[in-house]
Amino acid sequence: MILLLSTQALVDLLTADPKMGSWIKDKSAQDIEVSAVSIGQVLQLIDKETDAAYRKELDDAFEKLLLGLRHYQRIIPFDEKAANSWARLMSMTLMHDASSQVSPETRMVIATALTRNAILVDASRPYHANLPSLKVQSP
């Protein structure tokens, strides 16, 4: 069983979200994966943080989080198969919520989950219904 964290799930893990914290407790290190695209998204998000002290704290904590994932080779690159899947996802209307579509970056993460037959760890979203082959687990 592979559990690929969505970028928001990864951010929630970083920022002490209680739901994510209790969900992750009993998970094996071998089961968890993170897309390299998500790492880029999180770094970008941290970079946008205006409070310098909070930004530094996030940066340091994220590096420690990545250290463990790197050690277990749980960071998954965006490869050719995922790129093929992503191209198809880009032509679809996939709603993140009532007003906004899923971003191209998040579609890359979804494509990675689909091609690895992984379970995407993500909060319930409208677009999940449009992708019957996507397995989702909500923390």
Partner 1 sequence: MNLEILSALERLLVKDPTELAGTLKRLLIEQMQSAPVTIKSARDRFSEINRRAKEGQMQVIRGAPGQETIVVSLRDLAAMVQAARTGVSLADVFEATGFKPVRGPRLVVEEGMREETELVMPRSQSKVKQYEAVAL
Residues in the site for partner 1, rule: CB under 8 A? 7-8, 11-17, 21, 24-30, 32, 41, 45-46, 49, 54, 57-58, 61, 64-65, 67-69, 71-72, 96-97, 100-104, 106
Q: Which is nearer to partner 1, 5 or 114 (CB)?
A: 5
Q: Which is nearer to partner 1, 71 or 132 (CB)?
A: 71
Of 47, 67, 64, 65, the residue nearest 56 (C-alpha): 47
DSSP one-letter code for 19: H
What distance in Å separates the CA atoms of residue 47 and residue 49, rounded to the nearest whole number?
Answer: 5
List of residues 6+ apart from 101 with CB closer than 8 A: 93, 94, 95
Q: Which is nearer to partner 1, 44 or 117 (CB)?
A: 44
Smallest distance, Å, CB 133 to partner 1?
Answer: 21
Of 106, 108, 107, 115, the residue nearest 133 (C-alpha): 115
Smallest distance, Å, CB 112 to partner 1?
Answer: 15
Q: Which is nearer to partner 1, 54 or 138 (CB)?
A: 54
